[in-house]
Structure 1
Amino acid sequence: MPSGVLASLWRRGSVRRPVWLPPFWHSVIVALVLVAVCLPFLYVIWRAAQVGLERSIALLWRERVAQLLFNTIALMVTVTAIAVFLGAGAAWCIERTNLAGRPVWSVLASLPLCIPAFVSSYTWVSISSIFEGFGGAVLILSLATYPLVYLPVAAALKGLDPALEEVSQSLGRNRWQTFRGVVLPQLKPALGGGALLVSLHMLAEFGALALLRYQTFTTAIFEEYELEFSNASAALLAFVLLLLCLPIILVELRMRGRTQLARVGRGTRRATVVLSLGRWQWPVLAVFAAVAILGLLVPLGMLAYWLTHGTSAGVDWGALAASAWDSLSLSLLGALCTVLCAIPVVLAAIRHRARLGIWLDRIPYAAHALPGLVIALSLAFFSISYVSWAYQTWLLILLAYVVLYLPLAQVSIRAALEQLPAGIEDVGHALGHGSWSVFCKITLPCIAPGVAAAGALVFLQLMKELTATLILAPIGVDTLSMQVWSATNNAAFAAAAPYAAVLILISGIPVHILRKTVYFDAQ
C-alpha cells in the first residue's frame, strides 16, 4: 500500500494506529531520569518517617503550621489567578483584537521574564518596607510570572485555525458560544500548563519571599535547616508541600483532557479575524500601560538608581566577569542536559504510550514543587553516602538542575509534539525505518522549535536559580544570582545592582529566542 494512502487511512481512523515499542537506549534514559527525579521524594519520605508518628502529629498540629499552610495556599491561588487573568487577557488582546501597538505590547508582555523575582523584590523593598508581606508578594510575583501564561496562550491562539470558529458561527452560535465551545477547549492545555508552572513555582519560591518577609512552607523549611539544623522537621514540612502539589497536577490533567491539537490537512491556514475593541480601546491600553510600569519601569528604574549611587561605583569588574562566566557556563550546560532528558520522557508518555504514561509525564512536576534547598540536600545526601566522588562537582549540580527544571522543558516539547500528527512517524516505521532514524529524520526536525523554546526557557530559569546553587556549587563558583543574594541579604542594594543588571541583560537573550521561536510564533 502506498505510504500516502496509508497515512490518509490512519488520519481517517480506517486503520488503527500501531504502538511502536521504544528502543532500548530510550528506555534506559527514561529510567535513569525517573530514578534521579525520585531521589528527592525518597529523601523527604525517609527523613519525615524518622520523626515518628506521635511527634509528627505534634509538629504539624501547631498554629504556626496552620498559618504557613494558609499563607502558602493563599499566595499560590491569588498569584496563579492573577497571572492567568493577565497572561490570557494580554494574549487575547494582542493576538485577536485591534489593540494599538500590538507588536510593542507583545515584546513588553514577555520582558518580565528577564527580571528575576528576587531582583524585583529587592528593588521594591528598597523603595519602602510597605511592600513587604502578602500584598507586596502578590503584586511582585504576579507581574513576574504572568508571561509564563501569556507565551503559551499566545502560541495557541496563533496556531488555532479560524476556520473552526467560522464553522461554529455558521451553525448559528454567537461569539461567546463559539469561544466557549471551540476556542476555550483548544486553549485549555496552554492555560493549564501555564497555570501549573505558576502554581508549582509559588510553592517552591524562596528568594523573593525571604526578601519580602512573607512566611510560607519554603521559607520555613529553609529556617529549619539553616537555623535549627532540623533535617527531619524540615523534611516533614516538605512532605506536606508534596501533598499540596498533587491536587494541582490532577486539576491540570483534567483541564488538558483529550483535546486533539494536531492539525492535518492541505493548504494554508485562514487569516485570523481581528476584533474591534471600540470604546474599550483606551481602558485596555491603560491596563497594559499600568502592568508595564509596575512590572518593568519600577524595577529597572530603581536598579538604574542603585547603579549610580553608593558602593556600586567601586564594583570589582573582575569578580563581575567571573560571576557572569560561571552563570553562563552552568546555565548553558544545565539547559542542554535538561532538554536531552526531557525529550525521551515526553516521547515515552505521548508516542510510545508507556505504562502509567500520564504519571510518567507528571512525576517531574511534583519534584518541581519542592524547594531547591530540599532537592539539593537530597542529592548531596545520596552522593556523600554512595558516590562521594560526585560531591562538590559540576555533575551533581547539573543533576539538580535537571530535577528542578525538567517540567519547563516538558511543557514546550510536549506542546510541539502534540501538534505533530503521529501518522507521519507511523509512515516512517511502516516503510522500514528504525526508531532512531524516524526520530532524527522526522520527529526532531518537526519539534525543533519546541526544543529550542525549551532550552531557552530552562536557560532563563537557571540564570535566576539560587538555592540549589548555593548548596551544590563547587568551591570557587559564584554565579550572578549568588552575588545578588549575598548583597541584598545584607541590605547592600547598591553593591547588588551591577550583578543584577548583568543578570537581566543576559536573561534578555533567551526571552528574545522564546519570542522568535516558531513554536511561540506559530503560523
Structure 2
Amino acid sequence: MRRLVTAARGRSRVPYLWVTIVAAFVSLISLVPLGFIAWITVQTGWETASKLIFRGRVGELLINTALLELCTIPLTIVLSVALAWLTERTDLPGARLWAWLAVAPLAVPAFVHSYAWISLFPGLHGLTGGVLVSVLAYFPFLYLPVAAQLRRLDPAIEDAAASLGLNPWQVFFRAVLPQLRLAICGGSLLVGLHLLAEYGLYVMIRFDTFSTAIVDQFQSAFNGPAANMLAGVLVSCCLLLLAIEALLRGGERYARVGSGAARPAARLLLGRMLVPALALNIATVALAIGVPFVTLTRWLYIGGAEIWRIDLVGSAFGQTLVLAVAGGVLATIAAAPMAWLSVRAPGRLQRIFEACHYYVGSLPGVVVALALVTITVRLVLPLYQTFATLFLAYIMLFLPRAMVGLRTSIAQAPVELERAAMALGRTPFQAVRQTTMRLAAPGVAASTALVALGITNELTATLMLSPTGVETLATKFWSLTSEIDYVAAAPYAVMMVLLSLPLTFLLYAQSRRATGQ
C-alpha cells in the first residue's frame, strides 16, 4: 500500500508541469494590456510620462479611488455576511425566498442601477452616490460565496465552541467567521476589482475614478499617452489589492476528508431580533431591486408600445445571448488551470501567474480593447474587429470572475482523493477529472454564469472590438442614454435584466446544489 501511495504522489507531479505550462500561457496573454501600456510609456519618454503621472489630477483620482474602495468593501462585507447568516443560520421566515432575492440584484447591470437611481433622484452624485449604488450592485458577489461556505461548515465546530461556554455571538466571531475568510477574501477581491474597472456607473453618478478619466482621455481628448499613464497607475492599484488579499487569505487549509457532522446546523432563534432582521432584508431588496423596477416600469409606461422595436431589440438580445454563453465557457476553461494550481501547488511562481490572471480584471474594457486594436491593426490585420479578438478581450476581462468560483470549489475538494484515484490506477488527468473536477462542477457552472453575466453587461470593449453590425443590449442601451433618451433605452435595460435572471438563478441553484441543499 505504501508503494502505491508513493507511486501516486510521484505520478501526481506530471499534471503540475502541463497545467503550469497552460497557466503560464494564459498569464502571458493576460500581460498583453500591460505590455501595451509599457510600450506606450517607452514611446512617450520618461520626462513626459513623469509629468503625466506625478500631477494633481492623478492624486485626486487616487484619493477618489481609495475612498471608494475603503467605504464600499467594508459595507459590502458587513451587509453580505449579515444577510448570509440570517438566511442560512437563523429561523428567519421565508429564508429561501430572501436568499434568492439577495442574489437577484446581479441580474441588474451596474450602470442600470445608476440609471435607475439618477432617474428617481437626479441630485444623487459624488462619493455618497457611488458608494450607495456600488454596494447595492455588487454585494451579491460576496453574499454567494459566504452563504455557500456557511452551508458547508461542519456544525460540530460550533458545538465544540458552545460547549466551552461561548455565547452565540462569541461562537460566530471566534469559530464561524474565521472559517469564512477564504470566501470573504475572494468575494471582496472581486468587488474591489469591479470598483477599479467600472465605468458606466460612475459616469452617471458623476464621480471621477481612473476608469472614467481613462475613457474620457481616449474618447474626448484622444490623448493616448495620458490615458495609458493613468492605466499604469490603475494596474498598480490592482497589484496592491492583490497583495492585500493574498496576505489576508493566508495559507490555511479548508478542505476535510469525510462529511463531518451528519446533521445540518441548528438554526438560531431570532426572538426579539426578528423585526430588525426582516427590516434589513426588506430594505436591501427594496433598494437593490425595487428602485430599478420602479424606474423601468415608469419609463416603459411613458414610452408605451411604440418603444418596443421587436426587430432591433430582438436582434440585440440574440447577439448578446450568443456572446455571453460562448464567452463564459471560454473564460472558465482558460481560468481552470490557474485555479487548480493556486490550490494544489501554491508558491511564488504560482502567485505571480495568479496575479497576472487577476490584474487584467481591474482594467477598464477600453484599455484592453485599445491594446488588442493596436496589435491586430499592426501585426494581424485580418483579426481586426473579429469575434476571435472580441472573445479574447472577454477572456482577459473576466478571468477574475471565473477564478474566484473555481478556486473556492477546488479548495474544498481534498487532494487525498486525487492521490487515491491514482493509487487505483487512474492517470493524473483522469484522477483530477474524475474526483476534483466532479466535486468542483457546481463552481464551474457558477463561474461560467458569472462570466456570462459580465459579458451581458460589458460595454466599452464590445463597442470597440465587435464586428460591424454586432450590437448588444448594453451598447444599444448606452447609445440611447448618452442621447438622454431614457424612454427608448428602457426596453434594452429590461431585456438585459430578463437575460440575466436565468443566469442569476443558476448561480443560486448551483450554490445550493454544491452543499447538497
- TM value normalised by structure 1: 0.94
Aligned length: 516
How far did 1:385 drift? 2.1
Given candidates 401, 413, 421, the residue that maps to 2:394 is: 401
CA displacement, residues 297-356 of structure 1 (integer Å, 9 cap, x when unaligned):
111111011112137623321111110111011111100100111111212332255761
- Do the aligned residues in 2 keep the contact of 1:155 with 1:522 (CA within 8 Å)? yes
- TM value normalised by structure 2: 0.95
How far did 1:180 drift? 3.1
Measure the CA separation in 1 of the matches of 2:179 and 2:271: 26
How far did 1:28 drift? 4.5
Measure the CA separation in 2 of the matches of 1:353 and 1:118: 37
- Do the aligned residues in 2 keep the contact of 1:163 with 1:270 (CA within 8 Å)? no
Report the counterpart of residue 203 of structure 2 in structure 1: 210
SS of equivalent residue, structure 1 residue 130 = coil
Report the counterpart of residue 451 of structure 1 in structure 2: 444
Q: Does 1:256 align with 2:249?
A: yes
Question: AA paired with 2:492?
Answer: Y
Report the counterpart of residue 469 of structure 1 in structure 2: 462
Measure the CA separation in 2 of the matches of 1:66 and 1:42: 24
- Do the aligned residues in 2 keep the contact of 1:350 with 1:357 (CA within 8 Å)? no
Q: Percent identity?
A: 37
Report the counterpart of residue 382 of structure 2 in structure 1: 389
CA displacement, residues 390-441 of structure 1 (integer Å, 9 cap, x when unaligned):
1111001101111011111111111111111101101222333222222332
Q: In the TM superposition, what are the counterparts of 1:91-490 in structure 2 within 5 Å? A: 91-265=84-258, 269-310=262-303, 313-352=306-345, 356-490=349-483
Deviates more, 1:258-267 or 1:500-509: 258-267
How far did 1:18 drift? 7.7
CA displacement, residues 120-168 of structure 1 (integer Å, 9 cap, x when unaligned):
1112212232112222221111101001111100001000011011122
How far did 1:61 drift? 3.2
Deviates more, 1:501-510 or 1:277-286: 277-286
- Do the aligned residues in 1 keep the contact of 2:9 with 2:419 (CA within 8 Å)? no
SS of equivalent residue, structure 2 residue 15 = coil
How far did 1:284 drift? 2.1
Unaligned runs of 5+ residues in structure 1 are none
How far did 1:42 drift? 0.8
Deviates more, 1:474-483 or 1:62-71: 62-71
Measure the CA separation in 1 of the matches of 2:240 and 2:178: 21
SS of equivalent residue, structure 1 residue 275 = coil
Measure the CA separation in 1 of the matches of 2:137 and 2:503: 16
SS of equivalent residue, structure 1 residue 120 = helix
Question: AA paired with 1:461?
Answer: G
SS of equivalent residue, structure 2 residue 31 = helix
Q: CA RMSD in A?
A: 2.2
Deviates more, 1:214-223 or 1:177-186: 177-186
Measure the CA separation in 1 of the matches of 2:12 and 2:249: 22
Question: AA paired with 1:490?
Answer: E
How far did 1:76 drift? 1.9
- Do the aligned residues in 1 keep the contact of 2:154 with 2:261 (CA within 8 Å)? no
Unaligned runs of 5+ residues in structure 2 are none
SS of equivalent residue, structure 1 residue 98 = coil
How far did 1:170 drift? 2.3
Question: AA paired with 1:22?
Answer: P
Measure the CA separation in 1 of the matches of 2:427 and 2:147: 36
Report the counterpart of residue 60 of structure 1 in structure 2: 53
Deviates more, 1:161-170 or 1:399-408: 161-170
Given candidates 56, 76, 79, the residue that maps to 1:83 is: 76
Q: Give the direction of change, closer, same or farther, for the CA distance of 1:172–1:17 in structure 2 (3 Å limit).
A: farther
Q: Give the direction of change, closer, same or farther, for the CA distance of 1:30–1:498 in structure 2 (3 Å limit).
A: same
Q: Give the direction of change, closer, same or farther, for the CA distance of 1:311–1:378 in structure 2 (3 Å limit).
A: farther
CA displacement, residues 91-122 of structure 1 (integer Å, 9 cap, x when unaligned):
01111112222112111111100000111111
- Do the aligned residues in 1 keep the contact of 2:474 with 2:496 (CA within 8 Å)? yes
How far did 1:363 drift? 2.0
Measure the CA separation in 1 of the matches of 2:83 and 2:320: 31
Given candidates 495, 508, 514, the residue that maps to 2:507 is: 514
Q: In the TM superposition, what are the counterparts of 1:1-40 in structure 2 within 5 Å? A: 1=1, 20-22=13-15, 26-40=19-33
SS of equivalent residue, structure 2 residue 14 = coil
SS of equivalent residue, structure 1 residue 475 = coil
Measure the CA separation in 1 of the matches of 2:55 and 2:260: 64
- Do the aligned residues in 1 keep the contact of 2:152 with 2:515 (CA within 8 Å)? yes
How far did 1:458 drift? 0.9
- Do the aligned residues in 1 keep the contact of 2:81 with 2:146 (CA within 8 Å)? yes
Report the counterpart of residue 502 of structure 1 in structure 2: 495
Measure the CA separation in 2 of the matches of 1:54 and 1:520: 57
SS of equivalent residue, structure 1 residue 362 = helix
- Do the aligned residues in 1 keep the contact of 2:307 with 2:487 (CA within 8 Å)? no
Question: AA paired with 2:494?
Answer: A
SS of equivalent residue, structure 1 residue 271 = coil
